[in-house]
A and B are shown apart, each in its own frame.
Chain A
Amino acid sequence: MFPDLALGKPEVRQIPLHLDNRADGDERYWHGLGLLACGLALEPIQVQPLLVTASASPLGGAAPIRAVLVAAQENLSAATPRLLLPSLEGAALQPRMSLHVAMIAHAVAHLRYSPVGQPSSALKPMGMTVVSAIEDARVERLLMRAYPGVRGWFGAHLAAEPDPSDLTFRAFMARLDRILFCTASSSSNHWVSKAQELFERTVGEHGLEDYTAFRAIASILANDLGQMRVRMDPQHYVVPSPFRDDNSYLWQHPESELGDEALALQQTGARPPPAGAGSSTSEEVSPSQPLDLVRYTYPEWDHKIERMKADWCTVIEGHFTRQGSSQSQDNMPQAALRMANLRLRHARQLDRRHSLRRQWEGDELDLNAAIEVQVSRRMDLQPDPRLFLRAGCGPRPTSLLVLMDLSESVNRQAANGLALLDVEKQAAMLLAQSATQGLDRLAIHAFSSNTRAQVNYDRVLDFGEPCTTVVADFINALQGRYSTRLGAALRHASELLLSEPEGQRTMLVITDGEPSDIDVHDRRYLIEDARQAVLVARQAGIRICCLSVDEQADDYVRHIFGWRNFSIAADPQHLPQRLAHMSARLAAGR
């Protein structure tokens, strides 16, 4: 069913490597690879693009880059192993996936079967390389024993057969890779057939699990190569099979190498110092803030340690996003858009609390009707046979909370001179007015953040509040400031929604960019946190969707909100229509 799985024939694809120092955008792609890795490894493992700038690579920009596998560290900063894959951005989707999938399987083989961080000091570079290559073959065989299907994944990207005249070290290693992979083949080269014989004999005599036995034959083979005067250029050597990692995982090097350097380029997790002892929330009032504030603390998800950090964020409720409510309505860019009928439709859903009486058939007897049947019978009248109760379709109370991102970036002007903020205001206004006509419970809340100590939250229009001119003034006076710590705002909004009457509870988030905050440097961190907040809200029964005006948003928005729960308005001007459309859809329970 997935066409990109045309694996099986050993063929080498040349994939142009495009090195880039920009974070790879396609979250979904990497997320999917991560799932595969966890499933194969049977333990959590993070799969991320390897960020290598041309200058940072000791190989220069042109040489192919191999994957880097980083073992889990005991300290909390890296509780799970990480696999960094060259992002292969220039490649077409299918060969790119196919190579990444093979890279993942290979790395999983190391994770499951290789001893990590062996001391390398006793070995010369060539010895180390041969030991690594034998180890690669050994663990791949073990993995193929557990998962026979991965053979085809490796086979598709095995190093090409070198020209017979090629007697470089790399050519020997390519032949070694091939002879150990294609067990049925044979070689006319003495060293290669010796390698095959030694390897297969060790498999038979010691079993694949015996690391030391294989290390011993690797030493013999490396020694032979030395005798043959084969030379290696350690500076420029790259393992011939592109799906294999650089094997830095296997060794504990005295000095730092590519792996470490690549790591240094990876953004590190945000680790702001913990808030004051006991993380009490009330002492952190900064003088510039108004005083009628209510503070709440929420945890935050740290994807690196896969744990919630308790009481990590402080959500402050108040009216910060308003410049003061004195501004008059004429500042508001009046909508040139005519929003015909924004009124929210009621959800028509099967509601069992509301049962339809006197049905022809149903799950239950309508007792009153039954008694009447008896009465009719006694009176020799034709009884009404409709005596069943059935769960009916009735309106369920819908509570819709629209959560607006009011970070600094909403002030950006679009081509037509309108800032997103203006469009957001228009949309909010229309929605607020629609709520006064309809019967739904609608709230419009807004947020922005300035570090985890200050997530500003403004209940612009609260549930059940009529849309008065005061509210209109409030909306009009909204201002975009600071950053977007989405997770904390989502948690707070969920809490508020959950105190709404039972029924359909829905949240619609409007945002213009990905979550960020000035105290967080790991791009994924707040994305993962927001995703976690969404998952928890869903579990509590909240329907939660997102409307984004960031054209590039597809990946992270989908990652956060999930498949089918977002919509992107590429042109901010379309926001009001989209919003109307989405709220109607949500209110209708679809």
Chain B
Amino acid sequence: MADYRIREEPYYRSTGNEKALYEQAYRHRMPLILKGPTGCGKTRFVEHMAWSLNRPLITLACNEDMTASDLIGRYLLDSDGTAWHDGPLTMAVRYGGICYLDEVVEARQDTTVVIHPLTDARRTLPLDKKGEVVHAHPDFQLVVSYNPGYQSSAKDMKPSTRQRFAALEFDYPHPDCETDIVAHEAGIAPEFARKLVSLARSTRELKNRGLDEGASTRMLIYAGLLLRDGVSPMDSCEMTIVRALTDDPDAALALHRLVHAQFGA
């Protein structure tokens, strides 16, 4: 479990009172949903909170092939037969970690129901195959993330799942704040970071017009990393933003021009 403790303070630039709110929720071990577009800092935030609360953090990216045993655990083979291995969720439950399920709606609904007894007053996790009921450690907390933007209505959380959580909504940080983040994470000068952020704002304006999503903070950091290494701004953005965001040549051309407006001579 010590492996899951975060030793160094993860860099996190606060964008509001989300830290204080998280601490309040944690005080009651309230399960939390972090909502927000991809790459806006949800994962980083949880890492930071786990560090500041000094709790181990176990993260797990969900996908539609995930089964309940991927969360809970399963029998595996060892030298003299089969032995039970706790899944990541069970570990967090037993030893008092924060369990972070990324993109929880991607998991099938029959998988997500295993968290039901954990996220109400019972705070227990039944391991049916093993015939054990784990009572959650007092420090255990469940946090899930979810991007409401591009999920289909077919893929939504059941109300019975949803209503077990409190929610914090994230968005891309304010431009000044995002500039600091990009400059810090990519190690580039603030004036370049500001241009990237301004470009991102333009692309975010095209959400639902020609793009599914605008450029995320993460993308800007990628562009910044290439910039720092001496790749030209046009090429960096072309590669990490224009081509990455769309396959549609018309949308790509518009994006290309937006990059040119920002960085062109």
- Judged by a CB distance under 8 angstroms, whether B65 is at the interface is yes
Please measure, in the bound complex, the distance between the C-alpha atom of A153 and the C-alpha atom of B258, giving whole angstroms: 12
Q: Which of A134-142, A229-237, A277-285, A366-374 contacts B (4 or more CB under 8 A)?
A: A366-374
Q: Are A541 and B77 in contact (CB under 8 A)?
A: no
B216 to chain A, nearest CB (A): 16
Number of A-B contacts (CB under 8 A): 99
Please measure, in the bound complex, the distance between the C-alpha atom of A147 and the C-alpha atom of B238, giving whole angstroms: 17
Which listed residue, B152, B203, B209, B263, touches A34 by the CB 8 Å rule?
Answer: B209
**B-chain residues with CB within 8 Å of residue A44 when the two chains form the complex:** 205, 209
Q: Residue of A at shortest CB range from B76?
A: A365
Q: Residue of A at shortest CB range from B242?
A: A1
Q: Mark A371-384, 1 if CB is under 8 A from B, else 0.
A: 10110000000000
Known contacts A35-B254, A365-B77; A149 and B263 CB within 8 A of each other = yes
Which listed residue, A7, A40, A539, A563, touches B258 by the CB 8 Å rule?
Answer: A40
Q: Are A31 and B250 in contact (CB under 8 A)?
A: yes
Which listed residue, B154, B209, B256, touches A541 by the CB 8 Å rule?
Answer: B154
**B-chain residues with CB within 8 Å of residue A34 when the two chains form the complex:** 209
**A-chain residues with CB within 8 Å of residue B249 when the two chains form the complex:** 563
> Which size bracket describes the interface of B in this complex?
35 or more
Known contacts A1-B256, A38-B205, A367-B75; A539 and B264 CB within 8 A of each other = no
**B-chain residues with CB within 8 Å of residue A1 when the two chains form the complex:** 238, 256
B residues 221-265 touching A (CB-CB < 8 Å): 238, 247-251, 253-265
Q: Are A32 and B65 in contact (CB under 8 A)?
A: no
- Judged by a CB distance under 8 angstroms, whether B202 is at the interface is yes
Which listed residue, A147, A367, A373, A563, touches B261 by the CB 8 Å rule?
Answer: A147
B80 to chain A, nearest CB (A): 8
Q: Mark A506-529, 1 if CB is under 8 A from B, else 0.
A: 000000000000000000000000
**A-chain residues with CB within 8 Å of residue B150 when the two chains form the complex:** 539
**A-chain residues with CB within 8 Å of residue B260 when the two chains form the complex:** 5, 149
Which listed residue, A36, A539, A563, touches B257 by the CB 8 Å rule?
Answer: A36
Q: Are A32 and B250 in contact (CB under 8 A)?
A: yes
- Judged by a CB distance under 8 angstroms, whether B114 is at the interface is no
Which listed residue, B82, B153, B253, B259, touches A371 by the CB 8 Å rule?
Answer: B82
**A-chain residues with CB within 8 Å of residue B123 when the two chains form the complex:** none
B62 to chain A, nearest CB (A): 14
Please measure, in the bound complex, the distance between the C-alpha atom of A31 and the C-alpha atom of B210, giving whole angstroms: 9
Q: Residue of B at shortest CB range from A8?
A: B265
Interface centre among B250, B255, B263 (most CB of A within 10 A): B250
Which listed residue, A2, A40, A540, touches B154 by the CB 8 Å rule?
Answer: A540
Q: Residue of B at shortest CB range from A27?
A: B250
Please measure, in the bound complex, the distance between the C-alpha atom of A28 and the C-alpha atom of B256, giving whole angstroms: 16
**B-chain residues with CB within 8 Å of residue A150 when the two chains form the complex:** 261, 264
Please measure, in the bound complex, the distance between the C-alpha atom of A387 and the C-alpha atom of B81, giving whole angstroms: 14
Please measure, in the bound complex, the distance between the C-alpha atom of A540 and the C-alpha atom of B155, giving whole angstroms: 8
Please measure, in the bound complex, the distance between the C-alpha atom of A35 and the C-alpha atom of B205, giving whole angstroms: 9
A residues 99-158 touching B (CB-CB < 8 Å): 101, 105, 146-150, 152-153
- Judged by a CB distance under 8 angstroms, whether B111 is at the interface is no
Q: Are B82 and A32 in contact (CB under 8 A)?
A: no
- Judged by a CB distance under 8 angstroms, whether A208 is at the interface is no
Q: Are B256 and A367 in contact (CB under 8 A)?
A: no
B71 to chain A, nearest CB (A): 14
- Judged by a CB distance under 8 angstroms, whether A498 is at the interface is yes
Q: Are A38 and B209 in contact (CB under 8 A)?
A: yes
Q: Are B261 and A149 in contact (CB under 8 A)?
A: yes
Which listed residue, A8, A38, A352, A498, touches B206 by the CB 8 Å rule?
Answer: A38
**B-chain residues with CB within 8 Å of residue A563 when the two chains form the complex:** 247-250
Q: Mark B48-89, 1 if CB is under 8 A from A, else 0.
A: 000000000000000011000000000111000110000000
Q: Are B77 and A40 in contact (CB under 8 A)?
A: no
Please measure, in the bound complex, the distance between the C-alpha atom of A430 and the C-alpha atom of B231, giving whole angstroms: 56
Please measure, in the bound complex, the distance between the C-alpha atom of A147 and the C-alpha atom of B253, giving whole angstroms: 17
Q: Are B261 and A2 in contact (CB under 8 A)?
A: no
Please measure, in the bound complex, the distance between the C-alpha atom of A367 and the C-alpha atom of B76, giving whole angstroms: 8
Q: Residue of B at shortest CB range from A153?
A: B261
- Judged by a CB distance under 8 angstroms, whether A584 is at the interface is no
**B-chain residues with CB within 8 Å of residue A367 when the two chains form the complex:** 75, 82
**B-chain residues with CB within 8 Å of residue A35 when the two chains form the complex:** 206, 209-210, 250-251, 254-255
Starting from the known contacts A149-B264, A352-B64, 4 additional A-B residue pairs (CB-CB under 8 Å) come to: A5-B256, A5-B257, A153-B261, A539-B151
Please name the 8 residue pairs, one residue from A and one from B, whose CB atoms are nearest each other, closest first: A149-B264, A35-B254, A147-B261, A39-B202, A32-B250, A352-B65, A149-B261, A539-B152
